[in-house]
Structure 1
Amino acid sequence: MALWIRAVFLGFLTFVRTVNGEDAVDCVLGGSCILPCSFPPGGEVVLYWIQVATGNTIHYFYNNQDQVELQDQHFRGRTSLFKDQISRGNASLRLTGVQIQDQGRYRCYTSNKPGTKESFSNLNVYAPVRKVDIRQLENRITCSSEGIYPEPTLTWTTKPPFNETLQNQTTVQQTEQQLYSISSFLVASAPGLDYSCTVSTRVSQRRATWSLPTNISGSRTETTIRCRSSEGPPTGLIWRFNHSQIILNQTGTDYTTSEDWKKHVKSSSESGILTLKDLSSSQEGIYSCELSDAEETYSSFFLRLEGSPDSHNNVAEIAGWVIVVFVVCGLIAAAIFKLKYKKRKKNSQPNGQTSEEHEMNPLNGQKTEEDK
């Protein structure tokens, strides 16, 4: 059974679990961490910290000063004590630039006039899940995250809940730096569902939600699209076009617009409302928003531009030209047909007579006296 405690040491906040009578401390990779240790104060103290697995001394304090020459090289320059607190019984150790290799069990030994004391701390290093990316490519929805430690897990859920099991394929890889990356994809098997992907470890997790594209109509003159609101206070907002092209990046009320979109962005609110202006057909496509809080929520829209006076004029103009072309072509075809018809009729009668002249001639079809 583990008991969580929150300890504050001179402004440093750390979370400590007590497991079987020993402290277990979770430390962020690359950050600073405090291994707690206390003893009954009184008189001059000898204090040292040892890494149990290697037996190496990582910090040694004697005669009111650090004995750096006895410190293991791996920890050189990365450890310190709270010296103004030692006389009050605080032997806690601050470790900076935490590395995965620092994981393990540590022994704190103190000796002074009241006696000797030792305690143990178990240091666990983790790289939190900082970002989860979720995308849709055709009918596949993909989810990925990287730079994680320890090994993460990935789960899919839908809203509303889907009765059938979500068939997915998940891959986990580890880099030379021992950090993990994880990716997964599934086939969008039911319409009208929001797909959520959660990447988690024992100490951290984040979730991204993908809403299937919704058709909306907009004007070329001005169009407003809204991102789905987050569950908590938003900490950041990113708008993208066709998944990859960033429109703007926003923190609070301040936002930075990419160079290609400056002339099209009229305003953007902290709650996720984007107003665009002066659009053309090249801005028709998928608009997605990434609204961040404790999780990252993605909503997507397909924007179909219509209702613009310019667009109606263009359509009318094109339609007019099409009608003119059809009329001209029809007249030309009719004239050609009429000429061919007359020529064919004329050539089909003897002596070049027309059909009417041929019928009115009384000699047609009869022999003359000379023929007899």
Structure 2
Amino acid sequence: MQLFSKSNKSVLHTLFKIYTLLWTHSCGQNKIPDVHVTCIYSEDCILPCTFPPSTEEVVFQWYKQGTLIYSLLENGDESVNNISVFTDEVSHGNASLHLQFSSVKSRGRYKCVVNTTKAILESHVIVKIEAPIHGIAIGVSPTEHLHCSSTGVYPAPLLIWSTEPRSASTSLQAVTRMRADSNDLYSIDSTLKKMCTNSNLTYICSITSKYSSQSWKASLLQTEMSLNNGQNLVIPCMAPKNLKNFTLTWTFLSMNTQTDILTYYSQTQRIKNHWDDQAELDLNKALMGDGSLYLNNLGSKPSRTYACTFTGSQVKHIVQTLVKANASKAVLQTGNSGSKLWVLAIIVAALVLLCVSFYIYRKCQVGKSKDSWQDHQDDTEMQAMHRVNSVEELQAECKPHAEHNKDDSLAREKGKSNIM
């Protein structure tokens, strides 16, 4: 009986094909307009095929790209893996095909052929497969390059960079790369060099699916502000316009790591605070999109970066704020006139060097004058001593001669007296 059943089934299958071919060429054929169906990757999908309900027996077949993939005959059905029909619905005119765990290979042109005693109905279904965008990431590297990416997308999406204000968007030059994995799903990554002309630009990355069914946006703004030691601080952060049911997350960035500060959920108005003693939000303002962070008791801490992230439906907005101490700010401001300070420093150094040189020169001149004056004194004293010695020597030499003359005078006077 089993052999007879299989043989009978095979004969019926062959007869059905012949009958369908003859009916197609000899009789009229009702053709339904093409139906376009987009199936979501890895999810079940229904390919419609309907016909007027009939109390008589109905046989139908499904083809993909001309290849038979499902056949329902009188005594049973034949199908490939992951394909089925709702057999209980056939009597009600429903011959729709059920694709389970649709993949990229599921896309293509399908044909449904229904054979009744009254007519042959043929319909076509064009199947597209889409792996939707599930997330978008944006960030900035230490080299001042912006990065925007998304993974697991099909077909290949479109990525566009823009700025706010939009006037600067014309000079943006990005490098975008696309690659497919083993499941034919695409990953997209784009790199953009930051513009140095304007530090208040908001960079916007938009990723849109090929079928235009989705469009995700991620934006990034970097700002700076100063802080006095021990001062309480308010870091502003505003949500994009018309953003509903968002999540606000504040983080502290340090050495390429993120530390959570607090998270706020607008839908439930709940807050999860990791810095109870130092950080808080104004909940009334937060509900309206003002996510400013209030920080207390910061003390004397070095410059640091805080990040505010608004996440909503297909939207992500990040504001990174670099908080600097006043000393850093002073250095930053004086750095703008660095050339003037260098000139002033050089002039001061030159004046100091000139004064030192002049002082050394004067000191040397005074020393030389003292030595010259001392030498002159010594010479004068030596000359005086030589002069005195000469007089004494002359007196010593002249004294015997005078005495000799005196004796001669006395002798002459004595001789005169004797004569008399």
Q: Equivalent residue for 1:338?
A: none
1:178-217 equivalence runs, <5 A:
178-189=184-195, 190-191=197-198, 192-200=200-208, 201-202=210-211, 203-211=213-221, 213-217=222-226
Q: Equivalent residue for 2:164?
A: 159
Query: Any conservation in 2 of the 1:130–1:206 contact (CA below 8 Å)?
Result: no
Greater displacement, 99-108 / 45-54:
45-54
Determine if the alignment matches structure 1 residue 170 to structure 2 residue 170.
no
1:96-111 equivalence runs, <5 A:
96-111=100-115
Alpha-carbon offset, residue 205 of structure 1: 2.2
Distance 1:116 1:194, change over 3 A: same
Query: Any conservation in 2 of the 1:82–1:93 contact (CA below 8 Å)?
Result: no
Match of 1:134 among 122, 135, 138: 138
Q: Equivalent residue for 1:232?
A: 243
Q: Equivalent residue for 1:291?
A: 311
Determine if the alignment matches structure 1 residue 71 to structure 2 residue 79.
yes
Distance 1:145 1:87, change over 3 A: same
Distance 1:229 1:36, change over 3 A: same
Partner SS for 2:167: coil
Partner SS for 1:155: strand
Determine if the alignment matches structure 1 residue 29 to structure 2 residue 33.
no
Once residues 251 and 35 of structure 1 are traced to their aligned partners in structure 2, the CA distance between those partners, rounded to angstroms, is 40
Distance 1:94 1:239, change over 3 A: farther
Alpha-carbon offset, residue 255 of structure 1: 4.8
Q: Counterpart of 2:312 in structure 1: which amino acid?
A: S
Alpha-carbon offset, residue 43 of structure 1: 1.4
Match of 1:46 among 58, 68, 71: 58
Q: Counterpart of 1:96 in structure 2: which amino acid?
A: Q
Distance 1:27 1:224, change over 3 A: farther
Q: Counterpart of 2:219 in structure 1: which amino acid?
A: T
Partner SS for 2:98: strand
Q: Counterpart of 2:323 in structure 1: which amino acid?
A: L
Alpha-carbon offset, residue 95 of structure 1: 2.4
Q: Equivalent residue for 1:147?
A: 152
Alpha-carbon offset, residue 249 of structure 1: 4.8
Alpha-carbon offset, residue 278 of structure 1: 4.5
**Would you tell me which structure has more strand in proportion to its own residues?**
1
Q: Counterpart of 2:97 in structure 1: which amino acid?
A: L
Determine if the alignment matches structure 1 residue 120 to structure 2 residue 124.
yes
Once residues 251 and 94 of structure 1 are traced to their aligned partners in structure 2, the CA distance between those partners, rounded to angstroms, is 39
Alpha-carbon offset, residue 234 of structure 1: 3.4
Once residues 120 and 192 of structure 2 are traced to their aligned partners in structure 1, the CA distance between those partners, rounded to angstroms, is 59
Q: Equivalent residue for 1:301?
A: 321
Alpha-carbon offset, residue 294 of structure 1: 3.4
Alpha-carbon offset, residue 223 of structure 1: 4.0
Alpha-carbon offset, residue 51 of structure 1: 4.0
Query: Any conservation in 2 of the 1:42–1:114 contact (CA below 8 Å)?
Result: no
Q: How many residues align?
A: 293
Determine if the alignment matches structure 1 residue 245 to structure 2 residue 251.
no
Distance 1:304 1:153, change over 3 A: same
Once residues 112 and 182 of structure 2 are traced to their aligned partners in structure 1, the CA distance between those partners, rounded to angstroms, is 32
Q: Counterpart of 1:143 in structure 2: which amino acid?
A: C
Alpha-carbon offset, residue 147 of structure 1: 1.0
Once residues 246 and 119 of structure 1 are traced to their aligned partners in structure 2, the CA distance between those partners, rounded to angstroms, is 58
Q: Equivalent residue for 2:341?
A: none
**Would you tell me which structure has more helix in proportion to its own residues?**
2
Task: Tell me the alpha carbon deviations over residues 149-205 of structure 1, each in whole angstroms, 9 at most, x when there is no partner.
Answer: 111221111222235331111111111121111111122223132211111222322
Alpha-carbon offset, residue 148 of structure 1: 0.8
Q: Counterpart of 1:286 in structure 2: which amino acid?
A: Y
Is the radius of gyration larger for structure 1 or structure 2?
Answer: 2
* TM-score, length basis structure 2: 0.58
Once residues 56 and 244 of structure 1 are traced to their aligned partners in structure 2, the CA distance between those partners, rounded to angstroms, is 56
Q: Equivalent residue for 1:352?
A: none
Q: Which runs of 5+ in 2 are unaligned?
A: 1-31, 327-379, 390-420
Query: Any conservation in 2 of the 1:37–1:91 contact (CA below 8 Å)?
Result: yes
Once residues 49 and 42 of structure 2 are traced to their aligned partners in structure 1, the CA distance between those partners, rounded to angstroms, is 22
Once residues 57 and 324 of structure 2 are traced to their aligned partners in structure 1, the CA distance between those partners, rounded to angstroms, is 75
Partner SS for 1:162: helix
Task: Say what the alpha-carbon RMSD is for the aligned residues.
Answer: 3.8
Alpha-carbon offset, residue 53 of structure 1: 2.6
Once residues 46 and 108 of structure 1 are traced to their aligned partners in structure 2, the CA distance between those partners, rounded to angstroms, is 13
Alpha-carbon offset, residue 366 of structure 1: 6.9
Q: Counterpart of 1:215 in structure 2: which amino acid?
A: E
* TM-score, length basis structure 1: 0.65
Alpha-carbon offset, residue 99 of structure 1: 1.2
Alpha-carbon offset, residue 82 of structure 1: 7.6
